[in-house]
Structure 1
Amino acid sequence: MPSRRDDHDVGVRMIDGLDDEEIVRRLVECSCEGPQWETVAIALWAFCFRAVEDMVMGGSLARRTEKLHRPIRLSDDEREALRRDPQDLAEMFSIAFEKQLDYFATCLLAGSGWRAGAGLPLRAYFLNGLLLHLRNPMRGWWRARRRMAVEVRMGDASPLEQYRDEDLGPEEWLIATEDIEALVVALHDFDPALCDAVTLRADTGWSWARIAQEVELSPNRLSELRRDFLEHLRYIDQMGGDHGS
């Protein structure tokens, strides 16, 4: 697949002479294989990459993805990091594109997915699906950056020692620890609402006040649960037990 913005005009010209319904008909006829499928895939890649690049660099990605209920929020520093190293964005885009392309083909051949007159143009429909798939690779990239920052700050400290740090909340510990699954289990066993709150914080960066509303807790109660969970971990640690038990 192409990976440069320069491919946009070439790819789009390949299918600009056809309406969306005709494109879909041809794709179904060729079983989403062969030259016609590759032509459409190139054009979709070019259209979507330019759109995603513009959304990321222009700061509109959050607004667009919020409408899809899969928000992707990037700070100014994160956007600048992607501007300095565009290969990171290209790699994340590639993961999302391949997943959406497979899903798109599966739906077309099953007689579902995009339909003429049912809503969005084909390319906008495909882009929305790609944005849904983009969240996970973006989250992985963001988590790796945050983990690196925490590791630099905490040095060789253990995850529990990291959590004890006054400036390191449970959502940052969730990012810093390698054993994320075990921590999520420990959070859920302690209090499911706290687990939802902490993972939401790590995933979205929302304020605790907003998260308290989302998980239907008062801000004070959520703050109490965070403190209580830390005390619980300290107790388990002193007893030599498993944080997930």
Structure 2
Amino acid sequence: MGSSDSALAAERLRMDGVLVQHFRESGLTGPRWDQFHRQLLGLGLGIVAKLVRSGAMFSRCGQQGRYLHRQEIPPQEAEELASDAVYEGFVYFRDRGVLGREWTVEQGLPLREYFVNACVLAFPNVYRRWQTRVNGWQDVRLVDTLASLENVVTEGNPEDAVVEQHAVNAVFAALSEDSRRLLFLHDQGYSHAEIAELLRLTPRAVEGRIRRARLAVRRRPEEER
């Protein structure tokens, strides 16, 4: 690294220190924190999603002494895992790095790099929960609940209903395993809080995933026209 690069890195680190001190004094409130919070989550999701999709996350975890048995992650579920890791990594970053004063300028680690490392540290628990859900539900036979959820089966003659039901089945099969589980539990009358406890998620995460699953259901027939 040249002298100009070193000076630039030192200046960025100094600015990170000023920013963190401001956040600590303000108690993580105010428009500046809100903006930083949003930007950090967006940055983290982009980086972590790439690490998960490429498989590089497993080597990053190994470098941190957290070795994982790698299991194939469907592309549609990689972003969900990344989202959970970023959320939990942010909690670590906020509570221990900023409020707990674990992050310091003297460490020489830029703030955003510290945050990404926090997401990497959070990933093993997120990944193991995902493995438990996937492996634990392998023998569960999911009934076709999509028709009742979306009310797409027609009220016409039996032939029309059969055709429509086949379309529903195709859409349901195209959803990710996690999405099918969520829709199944929701249709069985479980609340968001109950589903969150069963699948070890937050109620807010459950609500968001159900919303995205429903959106995928609505979009698929339109895309196939």
- Normalising by structure 2, we get a TM-score of 0.49
